[in-house]
Amino acid sequence: MTQAGMLDGKVAVVTGAGGGIGREIAVAMALAGAAVVINDIGVSLSGHGGSATPAEQTRQIIEQRGGRAVINTDSVSDWTSAQHIVQAAIDSFGRIDIVVNNAGILRDVMFHKMTAEDWTSVINVHLNGSFFVSRAAAGHFRAQNSGAYVHMTSTSGLIGNVGQANYSAAKLGIVALSKSIALDMQRFNVRSNCIAPFAWSRMTSSIPAETPEAKARLARIEQMTPDKNAPLAVYLGSDAAGEVNGQIFSARMNEIFLFSHTRPIRSVHRGEGWTPELIAEHGMPALKASFYPLDRSGDVIGWDPV
């Protein structure tokens, strides 16, 4: 349950807020007291089409519950449009305090069949979009000496998944972007954190389920409703999270995970240096015991949601 008043006086931009996780975060932030810019261009999961209807539905939910919200239908994947998204917050509510980078599309296909358009379309929305919207808010955050970024990453990037080279690369890139923002803007009291959400939504409905194991996995995923991610996003946007910066979290049903960052785990040294032959004979065998297997997200986090 969202703590009422936790975001009183704050203004949040939530991209991709026309449905799923984005809608639940926008609604939760509004219930916590924030004025919300609902950004959504209303496209299909693959990024085609466009309609303001999903955003209108989110606004109706917020207003029916006594909250304040406006709609913006600009695309995150364009520098100028991203400026308009942030400006909508300034024009409507006079400030901006929270950016939630949630907008996304999928073009799932095996790497050896992936086209240039499959790649660039996903990178443009997820990674470029996260940068463009974050950068558009940065000047305002710096001037007011406060602000919070919440970026949606994915275990597809943190761990790995089949058929998602574009999505995985974008989502892991967002982690690096978030850490860089945290490092560069901590002097201005600006925080940047990531959430790897677990939820059944349009973004997971395309996962193939042809084997009994895959069908069982999907049945477990379907139990994880999008609203389970909203409390963590509200918290990270609030002043209560003032000392939380540069971290990677995950929300899975009633679990919250903290993910590790990449660090050296083992080393080998040879005073005389290495040749390719010596690496093959001595260096790599010494490191091999610490190799990670070719895990997918479901292999690492395979227990039932709790």
What positions carry a catalytic annotation?
167
270: left (phi over 0), alpha (psi -120 to 50) or beta: beta
Buried b (16+ CB within 10 A) or exposed e, 47-81: beeeebebbebbbebbeeeebebbbbbbbbbeeeb
Instruction: Copy the structure tokens of residue 232.
Output: 């963590």
| Gap between the Cα atoms of 131 and 101, Å rounded | 9
The residue type found at 145 is: N
3-state secondary structure of 4: coil
From first CA to last CA, the distance across the chain in angstroms is 17
Give the other-Cβ count within 10 Å of 187's Cβ. 9
User: Inter-axis angle of helices 165-185 and 129-144, to 10 degrees?
Assistant: 10
Chain Cα centroid distance, residue 27: 17
Measured in degrees and rounded to the nearest 5, phi and psi for residue 34 equal -80, 150
